[in-house]
Every structure is written in C-alpha cells, then in structure tokens.
Structure 1
Amino acid sequence: MALSILTDRQERGFLDGQFLIAMPGMQDGNFERTVVYVCAHSTAGAMGFIINRPQPISFTEILLHLKLVDQPEAIMLPSQTRDFPILGGGPVETGRGFVLHSDDYSSDSSIPVSDDISLTATLDIVRAIYNGRGPSRATMLLGYAGWGPGQLEAEIAANGWLNCPASEDLIFDTALEGKYDRALALMGVRPELLSREAGHA
C-alpha cells in the first residue's frame, strides 16, 4: 500500500509535505507525542513516517543483517556510518526499511516526495550510504504510518492531529528529544498551553 499511494497519485493532496503533530489526547499509543511527515495524501489514503521515535537497532546491525558487511568489517566502519540515524517510522510493515533523503541522491527506485526530498526503499541506497556515496541528508525508517481513504481526515476533524508545513531541517534533525516541542513551535504553539486546552475545543 505504502509506495502505491506515492506512485499512483495523480495530484498532491492538501496534507502532502505537511507535518502531523499528535494532540495530547491522542488515544493510539503508536502515535502519542509523535510528529509524522506526510509523504502522500490522496483520496486513496495517506502514508507518512514518524520522525521522532527512536529505534533500538543500529545501522551496523542492519548492514550485518543484510550481509553487506561481516563482523570484522563492521568493527572498522567509520563513526558517521555507525551513527547513521534509524527511526521507528510507524506501526505498518515494521520489518521494512525506507530512507528519506535529500534529492542529491537518486536511483531508479527513488520516488520524489517533495521538491527537495525523495524516498528510496531498496538496497542500493543502503549500499551507497555504506560506501560513502549516499545523500547529504538522510534517515532510515523502519515501518511507516498508513491511513485508508478518509481515515486521516476524520482523525483531524476529531481533534487528533494538528498539521503544518514540514521543515526539512526538522525531518533530518537527529536530536529526537524535544522534536515534538520544536514541531509545535513551528506553529507558534507552546506544548503546555496545548495540554491545558486539549479536550476543550
């Protein structure tokens, strides 16, 4: 479903390229205090990635799992490769990896998400990152967030999410602590006020 919503869309929906910021009353634990970058939104549904949820696995472990390196090579990896950010992108297909990245890298399987950001979900980008030929800005996400037709619109109408234009800097910001608050700040919203006002709309 995920990539088909991206590749089959005829036109961009109004939430394309937006952040979704979970309201304090969010009932779904998968999305509590999350910031989601919406990659595709249309009448067919929506898909995006949580950009502030850590993932307890390292890029080195992924390279070992994919058999792109062996243990002796893994020990010798430069720190920038070992520290490549891995996030929990959402509750759907959590065993599948996606790389959001700047558009200075492209392969046959890369899909433009916005004017400056692309998505690649194939091994070629993992190899490119490992070999130092990857994009200048990127993050890997395991899993994604998906909504069926009309589902996300209904959640927004029920006061589940705030939305605002996405910030590329925030997408690739590796300081996950406080990213939720920084996303709210893009809208001029202070989290403590939001907490007090939640449920009174």
Structure 2
Amino acid sequence: MKMQRTTDSLRGHFLIATPAIESGFFKQTVTYICEHGETGAMGVVINKPLDLQLADIFEHLNIQPLLSHDEVSVMAGGPVKVDRGFVLHSPDKTFDATLKVNADVWLTTSKDVLAEIAAGSGPERHLVALGYAGWSAGQLEQEIAANSWLTVAADDKVLFETHVQQKFESAGSLLGIDIRLLSQHAGHS
C-alpha cells in the first residue's frame, strides 16, 4: 500500500510573509517556491531589491550587454549562497543548469542565461536574484503552521510584470485579502 503524503508540494506557489515575521530578512517578502518535498524546500524572494542593477552583474562577469540594463534591479533572493545568481524565467530556452519548476517558470543558475539576456536573445521574461531561501525537512510546514506564511498558487504577472514595490500587496490580493490589514496576533474564539 502506498503511503499518502501528509503535505502537498508548494512548488510553483508564493509564500507571503505574515505580520508574525516582525523583523529580519523575510519581513514583508514574497518568495517563489522552486522546490518542495520531503527533504525540504527552496525558493527565491522576488520583492527585495538589492542596491544593484543587472548592468552591474554584467560588468562584474565581463559580459557586454547589447541593451542597457541600468534600470533592472537584482533581488536579494534569500540568505543562502548570496554570491550565487538565480534566474527565474519564462520557458523559452533551456540552459546549462535549468530546473523546470512548472510549465510556466524555470530556474537557471548557470551564467549562460545571463549572457543570452545581455545579448537580447534570452528568455522573454526573467527575474535575477542573488541567493536563495532554504528550509530543511518539515521546517517550512512548521513555519506555516505557526502562521508565519500564507501560501497561494503563483501568478506569472505578479512574478515577472508587477513592479517590485507592488508585489507584496499583489500577491496578497491573489488570496482576496489586503495584506496590509493583517494583524500579527492570531485570534481564537
């Protein structure tokens, strides 16, 4: 008899920080979950811009961009491996190190995706981050049970097209709520 899993995978979902996360890296963040299973979870924060532009990354990697990328912010993807690049993108092309999260979003960690973006021939939609967020086995489930996170199926428009300053509220609206009105104290009756 096959054992039924007690949790469903949150792969391809947003984690929206609740007011229970009062301070620290994850306060008011939206994280796109790329991997979630029995061994843990991995995601990329999509609404925490660094003081760094994509043009700066190209310069650091000695990539000559065809177009200007001075206005494209790089996100702080999480507190793990902050010196490593993670690119969430539309499934236009496969690169050296690509994880197919679902039919609409892939994650690439190899430099070739950045070279293609710089050349103007990369994925149509993309978000570049340094670092990622990781949870050990059962940790994310415990944090959700403690009301630290709300979860909702991710929306590509929020991920790729919504201005970084509106992503938190837009992700909350996917649940039909105004995230700014949540209290940090759970009520029990």
Query: Same fold, TM exceeding 0.5?
Result: yes
Q: Structure 1: which 5+ residue stretches go unaligned? A: 1-11
Question: Which protein is richer in helix relative to its size?
Answer: 1
Determine the structure 1 residue equivalent to 2:109.
Answer: 121
- Matching of residue 82 in structure 1 with residue 77 in structure 2: no
What CA RMSD, in Å, does the superposition of the two structures yield over aligned residues?
1.8
Write the distance in 1 (CA, Å) between the matches of 2:81 and 2:181. 35
- SS for the counterpart of 1:57 is strand
CA contact under 8 A between 1:13 and 1:40: conserved in structure 2? no
Determine the structure 2 residue equivalent to 1:103.
Answer: 91
CA contact under 8 A between 1:36 and 1:50: conserved in structure 2? yes
CA contact under 8 A between 1:30 and 1:91: conserved in structure 2? yes
- Matching of residue 37 in structure 1 with residue 32 in structure 2: yes
Determine the structure 1 residue equivalent to 2:53.
Answer: 58
- Matching of residue 68 in structure 1 with residue 63 in structure 2: yes
Write the distance in 2 (CA, Å) between the matches of 1:173 and 1:198. 32
Equivalent residues in 2 for 1:163-178, closer than 5 Å: 163-178=151-166
The one-letter code sitting in structure 1 at the alignment partner of 2:85 is G
CA contact under 8 A between 2:92 and 2:123: conserved in structure 1? yes
- Matching of residue 161 in structure 1 with residue 156 in structure 2: no
Question: Which protein is richer in strand relative to its size?
Answer: 2
Kindly state the Cα deviation for residue 185 of structure 1 after the two structures are TM-superposed.
0.6
Distance 1:192 1:141, change over 3 A: closer
* TM-score normalised by the chain length of structure 2: 0.89
Write the distance in 1 (CA, Å) between the matches of 2:57 and 2:164. 20
Determine the structure 2 residue equivalent to 1:5.
Answer: none
Write the distance in 2 (CA, Å) between the matches of 1:163 and 1:85. 25
Q: Structure 2: which 5+ residue stretches go unaligned? A: 1-6
Determine the structure 2 residue equivalent to 1:186.
Answer: 174
CA contact under 8 A between 1:85 and 1:174: conserved in structure 2? no
State which of 71, 74, 79 in structure 2 corresponds to 1:91.
79
State which of 174, 186, 189 in structure 2 corresponds to 1:199.
186
